[in-house]
Structure 1
């Protein structure tokens, strides 16, 4: 357990609501987790993010895409997948990482429209405080945890824009330009992975 971490009970007060297919997700030891990946939901609210998470996208396994932890705008923490299970949240990095989703509208509902690529909604102070507390708690619970990245750092693929197929836009831009990286990095003690690493395997 890192000695420099302040007391944190954020996990003790979290709302644990496993996704219906959580037990279908592959298991792993906590010692295999060395990376946290920060996302934003790009949905209007937590309820719609939950619906996206519950959707079964892989009929063979009966699972879908989701993060492990969700932080609502008021700072409440929700656990949808426990870290002992491999959630599908970042292509090529799922087996070694936990995904944290911050509720934020992002580019909703025009994710791939070239005219709507700004991510203007700021993250709330309550969200960032909870995130920092959660990262401290995870450092206690996950002995190998040392790195952190944004989804946009690890998935740099582009797709044709929905409004103009001759233009290309990034598939993933979260957590986006309003995320306070300097503050989070200073508080977390984690090392940010370099941007531009794109993996072709995984989900």
Structure 2
């Protein structure tokens, strides 16, 4: 299978991220940026958050028009989902999500649809990754792996999900029908079946 068109756009700290063998990758995690556009997502990705001089980012970002950018090489461990980074790839889909009121209990709807061009690009990328990473078996949403509830920003007595992406608008049935990966059940602590 031919590789999709991928635009390399490494983060400034990409070479500081820990390395791994691509053979160690068995899971791909689907995220949405919960930001208004790719430029804002890039700005967030470039922010240094850790003493190592690195920050939070996925490996691939797919814009609403289907453009794929690679921020982190697959042989580097990106910080995109707690507890799963060493074994997974993170794919971020540009989508507003709950932006800018992520944790406000009154703004938890995630009603921005994913355009066909974006989902088509995701499917093509996943099909290609499966051919280049033989250990890739599982697919999960960020919300499947990080199920923590946190106090709402507007009322600490109310708990809201810390992560809801890719959210209810993500077309799981369409993606799963097109790619040879099995969806992990929502199981933040157990890890994938062996």
TM-score normalised per structure 1: 0.92
Q: Give the secondary-structure state (helix, strand or coil) at the position aligned to 1:78.
A: strand
2:48 aligns with 56
2:168 aligns with 177
Please state how far the C-alpha of 1:143 moved relative to its aligned partner: 1.1
Deviations 1:2-52 (A, max 9, x none): xxxxx3431xx2110100000000000110000000000000000000000
Contact 1:156 1:198 in 2 (8 A): no
What pairs up with 1:92-107 in 2 under 5 angstroms? Answer: 92-107=83-98
Q: Give the secondary-structure state (helix, strand or coil) at the position aligned to 1:135.
A: helix
Q: Give the secondary-structure state (helix, strand or coil) at the position aligned to 1:43.
A: coil
1:164 aligns with 155
What pairs up with 1:114-193 in 2 under 5 angstroms? Answer: 114-193=105-184
In 2, Cα distance between equivalents of 1:8 and 1:29: 22
1:14 aligns with 6
Deviations 1:143-186 (A, max 9, x none): 10000000000000011000001000000000000000011011
Q: Give the secondary-structure state (helix, strand or coil) at the position aligned to 1:169.
A: strand
Please state how far the C-alpha of 1:198 moved relative to its aligned partner: 3.9
Please state how far the C-alpha of 1:197 moved relative to its aligned partner: 1.9
In 2, Cα distance between equivalents of 1:198 and 1:91: 10
Is structure 2 residue 33 aligned with structure 1 residue 41?
A: yes
TM-score normalised per structure 2: 0.96
1:3 aligns with none
Contact 1:8 1:136 in 2 (8 A): no
2:18 aligns with 26
What is the number of residues matched between the two proteins?
Answer: 190
In 1, Cα distance between equivalents of 2:163 and 2:81: 10
In 1, Cα distance between equivalents of 2:143 and 2:109: 14
Structure 1: segments with no counterpart, 5+ residues: 1-6
